[in-house]
Structure 1
């Protein structure tokens, strides 16, 4: 179990969904219920802290409106509209 202290904010959005944000490392998730939002946040924190995720494929990037050939290096240009 992690001994890291966390500050988590939980907000109900105008559409009724819940947003959970871990303030220390800056991660945010949503869920239809408070429990869903917090559970999703736990999953994301676990993935980040334990290096569990994977890089998106070029196909996944294109589906999100990102041209992988123009975005190979972090900080190499303006953010795509989808990330602004």
Structure 2
């Protein structure tokens, strides 16, 4: 990964260009990052993550139903996943 950071900035967005051609956008203030096939896609993904990080989005009332409807997964499918590695809403 190559970095575009200059002058020890602590605000803004930094882009990383991966060897597979994808791009990662990292928010320097929060340290959160998301990737995509293009800079625009990476920024859109990062914007969504930042919104959720700031408390945006809708709460998940039933995690099992969410997994089923959104990802076609059953909670039991994740039984082998260490609890510390699970998303916060499942802990």
TM class by shorter chain equals 0.5 to 0.7
- Which one of 2, 11, 17 corresponds to residue 6 of structure 1? 11
What corresponds to 1:37 in structure 2? 42
Larger Rg: 1 or 2? 2
5+ residue gaps, structure 1, are 72-78
Q: Structure 1, residues 19-57: CA drift from partner, whole Å, max 9, x if none?
A: 001121111100001100001101110111124265654
Say if 1:60 and 1:50 are closer, same or farther in 2 by CA, change over 3 A.
Answer: farther
TM-score using structure 1 length: 0.59
Task: Note if 1:66 corresponds to 2:81.
Answer: yes
2:66 equivalent to 1:50: no
Q: Which runs of 5+ in 2 are unaligned?
A: 1-9, 65-73, 86-91
CA distance in 1, matches of 2:76, 2:39: 29
CA distance in 2, matches of 1:22, 1:12: 15
